[in-house]
Structure 1
Amino acid sequence: MAKAKFIQDGKIIYFTATAEVGYNDIVPIGGIVGVAAEAIPSGGTGGVRLTGVYEMPAAAETMEVGDVLYWDNSNRYVTKTKSELTCVAGIAVSKKTSSSAGTVLCRIG
């Protein structure tokens, strides 16, 4: 049977930025998002959180607790609409009743 070797909890990983990243910026990494644990200069390496609940900008649509949310990097918000331009952000842990833009609590990871 194959074995794995434990390295770390994985709550924070180290990420090399291709553009300047500010503290608490939402950072798309492959097919997921993280949240910057510190400011990271372009070309620099810094910590990005991969777990937790964050208030995030949300698309103009209603959202229910448990909805899968995707990060739309072009529009800079979470949405329920999956497309080739989005990556998984997490799940909604608050209800967003308004069909206008706003915020929602999202559990990443």
Structure 2
Amino acid sequence: MATNYVQPGNILTIPAPAAVLSGGVVIAGEIKGIAQGDALSGALVDVATRGVWELPKVAANSFTLGAKVYWNAGDGLATTTASCNTLLGVAVEAAPADSASVKLRLSGF
């Protein structure tokens, strides 16, 4: 293995950009993922950057399999709206408008 290899990068330990609860979305610049524990702003938190997660969504939105899933940080909900929101990943199954959540695979980029 190369001597400059650090880690797989599936879970990163970073300072929380804001207070977060376990399972909450963390966005720190281009690092996007799911908190693996509670953390106050500035405290270290483990953030999963890969995997499939279920998140609450905007009630009126429906997702098709493979649709892009964005995060509206103001509302704390997944949305189909790209404008002013952060791309988190893609839907791994359809989520109709009457469902409360969407299952998505984090893009890990």
Q: TM-score, normalised by structure 2?
A: 0.84
Matches within 5 A, 1:1-109: 5-31=4-30, 33-59=32-58, 60-83=60-83, 85-98=84-97, 100=98, 102-108=100-106, 109=108
Kept in 2: contact 1:24–1:35 (CA 8 A): yes
**Runs of at least 5 residues in structure 2 that lack an aligned partner in the other structure:** none
Aligned residues: 105
Question: Matches of 1:92 and 1:17 in 2, distance apart?
Answer: 25
Coordinate RMSD, CA, aligned: 2.0
In the TM superposition, residue 101 of structure 1 has moved relative to its aligned partner by 6.2
Letter in 2 for 1:78: A
Q: CA deviation at 1:97?
A: 1.9
- Work out the percentage of aligned pairs sharing the same amino acid: 30
- CA 1:61–1:97: 2 relative to 1, 3 Å: same
**For residues 47-68 of structure 1, what are the alpha-carbon distances to aligned partners after superposition, in whole Å with 9 as ceiling and x for unaligned?**
1110111111112211101001
List gaps (5 residues or longer) in structure 1: none
Shift of the 101–31 alpha-carbon distance from structure 1 to 2, 3 Å rule, reads: farther
Contact 1:53 1:107 in 2 (8 A): yes
Cα distance in 2 between the residues matched to 1:42 and 1:31: 18
